[in-house]
Structure 1
Amino acid sequence: MRELFMIVVTGATGNVGRSLVRILADAGRRVTATSRRISDADVPRGVRHHRVDLTTPEVLRPVLDGADALFLHDTATSAHLLRPQDILDAAKAGGVGRVVVLSSQGVATRPASASHGIVGRSIEDAVRRSGMDWTILRPGGFHSNAYAWSESVRTRRTVAAPFGDIGLPTVDPADIAGVAAAALHEDGHAGQVYELTGPALTTPRQRVRAIGDALGEPVRFVEQTRDEARAEMLRFMPEPVVETTLAILGEPTPAERRVSPDVERVLGRAPGSFADWARRHAAAFR
């Protein structure tokens, strides 16, 4: 197996990117971490970091010089502004031969959705055409989406959410990072599309109960109507993203409810449960 000399991680301060940088650094890989806002406090000692906005890919060019692999993270809020071909051209010019892209399950399950399917597909297609070895990661919902409840749990020990008894196999961002790390520095992942889920379906009501168990005291669940949830989500999410998100939460397709074997196939262990995630991150809810 060829040792990759340097790996560039975009979105390095996010839930996946932060874990990925740590995994790679702990494995002794040379890592360059990039994000719109990043400082020494955001990365392990010895990890180089740069402030980079992917919507202006020309600033990425010097960061990619001499790199062997790239982790490309398309954020839901700005993916429509990305020029993926420009980013990939810069990567190829810098010597990158391998790219791992964090996409979305919605590319397959919601292909007509502008926020989840159309934009994500355009990025995936650019990666496939890039001439580099590529791996595509398609997670569903993240365990860490529960951070949206942290303030109400801390202040009122209450969570309000819609569709309380509809289950989805949300995934631990640390497991996404683990799969990304394997694809970045191991052979055998080129041309693969991995669908990443947790080990089981969990409902919002069950996830709230797991947070309460992690805290050692009950957290009350209040079920919102769809309209109530929509009004709240519109305060911080674009309307197309809100509509697709509510459709997934309220009327998931069979594919969105399927537990994928891909995390275990790549990592050699079962994916982490939401309860495990809640115990590790209980401090956020205290």
Structure 2
Amino acid sequence: MSTLVTGARGKVGQALVGRLHSAGHAVRAASSHPARLTVPTGVETRELVLDRPETFPAALDGVRQVFLYPEPAGIHELIAAAGAAGVEHVVLLSSSSVLAPGAADDPLASHSLKVEQALAASALTCTFLRPDAFASNSFGWAYPIGRSLPVQLAHPDAHIAPIHPDDIADIAYEALTGDLLTGRRLTLTGPESLTFRRQLAVLADAIGREIPVEQITRAEAERQMAAHMPAPMVSSLLDLWEAANHGPATVADTTETLLGRPARTYAQWARENAAAFAGH
């Protein structure tokens, strides 16, 4: 029986496919565009589009476990198809935002919460991984940094505890290959609380030059962010960062507490990805 990894083009999914395959586990990678997947030799690929239930049976055939990216569209049909295929366990890449007050009405949190609720109501054994901010969110700063422009932020002193995507992949691997994490709801963070300003200082060390930071108004931040995402999501993020101004972020579960292995730091992520901020 195989493990199906959805969203296998993403950093976490791609890393998880590699870990499972290297350890000798049968793994199948799924994507809405399987031809674009880069997978190790011998790994099966399948099309799986979460709002197209006709893609579910072939993707799930012979699968015992699923690593699932959250998408409310088609989730009830996917659960039904998983049950019919004999799937026993789903590991969901959810979000810590589902724990916030008002999550059901929040455009960001509700996306993952709807999937959690549907899975919790099913007969499947479910493990929910709820990471907080990803270290890789910093790629959003690559354009100004690469052009030696200031990074403009409405809340440069907001605190987060960014998690390295490889730590999420390690925890997902353990959830799929052992019993320690089965059925648990885990809030995941990196090992330290950092402000955005401090993250940029760490990135500056990694690339060997100063990164100027410029504080802007909320209105200006809304204007800039609206070019890339819907207005309700912009408001949700800015509200989140405003609330995070008031003290260090909570450090929750990490690879240290869950797996007994040191958690990767933001500085390690910055060194590994320094080339992305070098400009062109």
- Kept after mapping to 2: 8 A contact 1:248/1:256: no
Given the alignment of the two structures, is residue 191 of structure 1 paired with residue 187 of structure 2, yes or no? no
Question: Which residue is equivalent to 1:125?
Answer: 117
Question: Which residue is equivalent to 1:83?
Answer: 74
CA distance in structure 1 between the partners assigned to 2:168 and 2:246 by the alignment: 21
Distance 1:64 1:112, change over 3 A: closer
1:233-258 deviations in Å (ceiling 9; x for gaps): 11111222211111111213989921
Question: Which residue is equivalent to 2:27?
Answer: 31
Question: Which residue is equivalent to 1:163?
Answer: 155
Distance 1:196 1:143, change over 3 A: same
TM (norm. structure 1) is 0.90
CA distance in structure 1 between the partners assigned to 2:104 and 2:17 by the alignment: 33
Given the alignment of the two structures, is residue 97 of structure 1 paired with residue 88 of structure 2, yes or no? yes
Code of the aligned partner of 1:223: Q
- Kept after mapping to 2: 8 A contact 1:104/1:116: no
CA distance in structure 2 between the partners assigned to 1:269 and 1:70 by the alignment: 25
CA distance in structure 2 between the partners assigned to 1:35 and 1:177 by the alignment: 17
CA distance in structure 2 between the partners assigned to 1:115 and 1:66 by the alignment: 35
Given the alignment of the two structures, is residue 20 of structure 1 paired with residue 16 of structure 2, yes or no? yes
Question: Which residue is equivalent to 1:228?
Answer: 220
- Kept after mapping to 1: 8 A contact 2:2/2:28: yes
Unmatched 5+ residue regions in structure 1?
A: none
CA distance in structure 1 between the partners assigned to 2:180 and 2:62 by the alignment: 23
Alignment map for 1:230-249 (pairs within 5 Å): 230-249=222-241
Given the alignment of the two structures, is residue 43 of structure 1 paired with residue 34 of structure 2, yes or no? no
Count of aligned positions: 277
Alignment map for 1:132-211 (pairs within 5 Å): 132-156=124-148, 158-211=150-203
- Kept after mapping to 2: 8 A contact 1:140/1:256: no
TM (norm. structure 2) is 0.91
Give 3-state SS (helix, strand or coil) of 2:92's partner: strand
